[in-house]
Amino acid sequence: MAREGGARRVPARAESVGGRRSSSRNKVPGASPRLLSGLPVCPPPPCLAKAMASKLLRAVILGPPGSGKGTVCQRIAQSFGLQHLSSGHFLRENIKANTEVGDMAKQSIEKGLLVPDHVITRLMMSELESRRGQHWLLDGFPRTLVQAEALDKICELDLVITLNIPFETLKDRLSRRWIHPASGRVYNLDFNPPHVHGVDDITGEPLVQQEDDKPEAVAARLRQYKDVAKPVIELYKSRGVLHQFSGTETNKIWPYVYTLFSNKITPIQSKEAY
């Protein structure tokens, strides 16, 4: 698969611009002065809009289990017309279809292990190959440095965002999370409950709580994520494409995420839609 065109470097983090710390009077959790100055978003000049339309956006979202990645991804995909490519969704599809990749992944999952790098990379490279002409947002991949290096071989990323959520908040969210296994739809009993307790809104099928979402397993999952994700985050930070957002409520960080993406791709839906 041929490597795609390069991406222009952008500020490294939401809290830091050009290597300098932002002044305290401009600080808003999860937003840089550049993002704040861009609100409200004005339509780009015609020449820039044309360039934005012709450039295929390559973006990644990182975050620990329970950080709200799925909700943020859904909003980004609908607001900017991006393909939301979830590694978890593709794994479930392959496991259900009993493919070779699905069988290998299932063996690891049943043992409580992470899906091996070569298995998930093979799966995601195949999915990306079929979407070469589309804007996309990766969710759940890359998770390790090996996976990030594999992704490097086929494209350069324009944006990487990471969601920073307090440890205690994550533990509480995960212990209150229920899932519809067939679709991967996620519910939270506190802020996104199903219409009928224990039942999927769309299919009416029963919801389940994953074994690793139970309180005794959550702490181990979060420690594992931190250890594995740190070098990936540092890699993208060093390249100047990482933007960090801190907060416990999606609605509060959403305007800044929307503005960030608006600087790279023309929106098809207003941020006020949410």
Residue 246, annotated as binding a ligand: no
pLDDT at 33: 34
pLDDT at 200: 96
pLDDT at 221: 79
Domain that holds residue 101: 16-273
pLDDT exceeds 80 at position 256 = yes
Q: Does residue 11 fall inside a structural domain?
A: no
Q: Does residue 7 fall inside a structural domain?
A: no
pLDDT exceeds 60 at position 87 = yes
As a whole number of angstroms, the distance between CA 47 and CA 72 comes to 29
Least confident among 12-16, 86-90, 205-209? 12-16
**Is the Cα dihedral 134, 138, 143, 145 positive or negative?**
positive
Q: Does residue 1 fall inside a structural domain?
A: no
Our count of domains for the chain comes to: 1
Q: Does residue 5 fall inside a structural domain?
A: no
pLDDT at 52: 46
Residue 71, annotated as binding a ligand: yes
Residue 67, annotated as binding a ligand: yes
Q: Does residue 8 fall inside a structural domain?
A: no
Cis peptide, bond prior to residue 166, ω within 30 of zero: no
pLDDT in tens, 104-156: 999 988 877 789 999 999 999 999 999 999 999 999 999 999 999 999 999 99
pLDDT in tens, 192-219: 899 999 999 999 999 998 777 777 777 7
Both tokens of 69, joined, read 């990645």
pLDDT exceeds 90 at position 162 = yes
Average pLDDT of 229-249? Answer: 94
pLDDT tier at 54 (50, 70, 90 boundaries)? low
Other beta carbons less than 10 A from residue 213's beta carbon? 20
Residue 221, annotated as binding a ligand: yes
Residue 28, annotated as binding a ligand: no
Average pLDDT of 209-237? Answer: 85
pLDDT at 1: 52
Q: Does residue 128 fall inside a structural domain?
A: yes
Q: Does residue 266 fall inside a structural domain?
A: yes
Residue 186, annotated as binding a ligand: yes
Task: Look up the CATH number of the domain holding residue 73.
Answer: 3.40.50.300
pLDDT in tens, 28-42: 344 433 333 344 444
SS3 state at 17: strand
Residue 122, annotated as binding a ligand: no
As a whole number of angstroms, the distance between CA 181 and CA 207 comes to 7
pLDDT at 8: 41
Both tokens of 81, joined, read 């017309």
Question: What DSSP line would sit under 90-117, residue for residue?
Answer: HHHHHHHTT-HHHHHHHHHHHTT-PPPH
Residue 22, annotated as binding a ligand: no
Q: Does residue 152 fall inside a structural domain?
A: yes
Residue 143, annotated as binding a ligand: yes
pLDDT at 36: 35
Distance between terminal CA atoms of the chain? 37
Residue 261, annotated as binding a ligand: no
Range among 29-33, 49-53, 233-237, 246-250 rated most confident? 233-237
> Looking at per-residue confidence, does 14 or 128 come out higher?
128
pLDDT at 30: 40
pLDDT tier at 73 (50, 70, 90 boundaries)? very high
Cα 196–Cα 63–Cα 270 angle in degrees, nearest 5: 70
pLDDT exceeds 70 at position 9 = no
Residue 237, annotated as binding a ligand: no
Secondary structure in 3-state letters for the chain: CCCCCCCCCCCCCCCEECCEECCHHHCECCECHHHHHCCCCCCCCHHHHHHHHHCCCEEEEECCCCCCHHHHHHHHHHHHCCEEEEHHHHHHHHHHCCCHHHHHHHHHHHCCCCCCHHHHHHHHHHHHHCCCCCCEEEECCCCCHHHHHHHHCCCCCCEEEEEECCHHHHHHHHHCEEEECCCCEEEECCCECCCECCECCCCCCECECCHHHCHHHHHHHHHHHHHHHHHHHHHHHHCCCEEEEECCCHHHHHHHHHHHHHCCCCCCCCHHHC
Residue 256, annotated as binding a ligand: no
Whole-model pTM: value is: 0.72
pLDDT at 223: 84
Average pLDDT of 172-184? Answer: 86
| DSSP β-bridge partners for residue 20 | 17
Residue 131, annotated as binding a ligand: no
**Is the Cα dihedral 170, 174, 177, 181 positive or negative?**
positive
